[in-house]
Amino acid sequence: MTETASAAKTVWPLSGFGDEVDPDPAIQAAVLLALGARHIEVRSAWGVNVSELTPEQVSELKEILDEKGLKVSAVASPIGKVAIGLPVEHEVERLRQIISVAKGLDTTYIRIFSFYPAEGQSPEDIREDVITRMRALAAEAESAGVVLLHENEKDIYGDTPQRVLDIMESVDSPALRVAWDNANFVQVGVRPFTDGYAMLRPYLEYLQVKDAVMATGTVVPSGEGDGELDATIAALKADGYSGFASLEPHLASAFELGGFSGPVAFGVAARAFASLAAKNGIELS
């Protein structure tokens, strides 16, 4: 390899949602390692969501991952994936517990969401309540030295690029950034790269990898849907992105607090993304 080629080499750390592989973290780790990842995103272990893990379970999980040689890219929390009517302090208290999990797993990233409207409410109806809650969460995170990653989940306030931007600009905190999900944008009728990339790139700090078909909302392997993943990956590389790429395939099932793929489908998703990454001159590690 020439000196110029070496200098141009782009490497993205690969991660993935371990509980999409298996409930057992040892199996999660084994599959991710086999796919070339050195990180894992923790949403649950042994079927227990991160919001309910005990300190003893966190310690045991950390020991398993340390033994396997895997680090944690982020804690995928359910914070903000609740109705807007709950008191502000409800999610702040849950965040405090999840911050302790993140610290126990030696990561600074925590994924969150921006609340569901009640029946009959529009996103505009809940905007002020959302911003109030997101400010409170960001303040808690900033004081704890962690970074919240807002995921553009379908049907929450921040499910379109414009409303995600509204949250980022209104909260205006270094402790709140964007976890970009192409498939979720597709599922609300958005062309991710065309409609949202330029406006959200200044805040984009974490890439969640999945694709979807616009006509049906069905989640598919990277490059097989309408998520404009190829264009997104190319633009991120051109912009100098060097953050995580975290596999969240959702190829077998999806449910309220997560999804499942199983080892085989997870491998299909990993290879599809690796192919797109290689096409764009990106090495995954």
pLDDT tens digit sequence for 90-114: 999 999 999 999 999 999 999 999 9
- Give the residue-averaged pLDDT of 41-56: 98
Residue 263: pLDDT band by 50, 70, 90 thresholds? confident
pLDDT, mean of residues 195-208: 98
Residue with tokens 């997870």: 266
Q: Does residue 260 surpass a pLDDT of 80?
A: no
Per-residue pLDDT of 163-190, as tens digits, reads 999 999 999 999 999 999 999 999 999 9
- Residue 250 region by backbone torsions, left for phi larger than 0, else alpha for psi between -120 and 50, else beta: left
Report helix angle 25-34 to 262-279, nearest 10. 30
Tell me the two tokens of residue 123.
């996103």
What integer is the mean pLDDT of 210-220? 95
220-223 contact pairs (CB < 8 A, 24+): 220/251, 221/249, 221/251, 221/268, 221/269, 221/272, 221/273, 222/269, 222/272, 222/273, 222/275, 222/276, 223/272, 223/275, 223/276
Helix (H) or strand (E) holding 6: helix 3-8
User: Residue 150: its pLDDT value, please?
Assistant: 98
Q: Are strands 48-49 and 44-45 parallel, antiparallel or unpaired?
A: antiparallel
Q: Helix/strand/coil (H, E, C) string of 144-167?
A: HCCEEEEECCCCCCCCCHHHHHHH
212, pLDDT greater than 70: yes
Q: Is the pLDDT of residue 1 over 80?
A: no
Q: Is the per-residue pLDDT at 259 higher than 90?
A: no
Q: What does the DSSP 8-state code read for residue 118?
A: P
| Contact criterion met (CB below 8 Å) for 114 and 55 | no
Q: What mean pLDDT comes out for the span 44-66?
A: 98
pLDDT at 4 over 60: no
Tell me if residue 218 falls in helix, strand or coil: coil
- What is the pLDDT averaged over residues 252-274? 71
pLDDT band at 261 (very low <50, low <70, confident <90, very high): low
pLDDT at position 251 is 66
Structure tokens at 236: 């991120």
Cα separations in angstroms, 128 against 112, 114, 121, 138, 232: 18, 12, 13, 15, 31
Domain boundaries, the chain: 3-284
CATH number for the domain formed by residue range(s) 3-284: 3.20.20.150
pTM of the model: 0.93
In the chain, what percentage of residues exceed pLDDT 70? 93
CB atoms inside a 10 Å sphere around CB 33? 14
Mean pLDDT, the chain, as a whole number?
A: 93
Question: Residue 236 and residue 241: Cα distance in Å, rounded?
Answer: 5
Q: How many CB atoms lie within 10 A of CB 37?
A: 26
Residues 131-172 have pLDDT tens digits of 999 999 999 999 999 999 999 999 999 999 999 999 999 999
Give the DSSP per-residue string, 26-91.
Answer: HHHHHHHHHTT-SEEEESEETTEEGGG--HHHHHHHHHHHHHHT-EEEEEE--TT-SBTTS-HHHH
- Give the pLDDT mean for 78-98: 97
Whole-angstrom distance, CA of residue 44 vs CA of residue 103: 16
Phi and psi of 47, rounded to 5°?
80, 5
Residue 227: pLDDT above 50? yes
> Is the Cα torsion angle 210, 215, 218, 220 positive or negative in sign?
negative
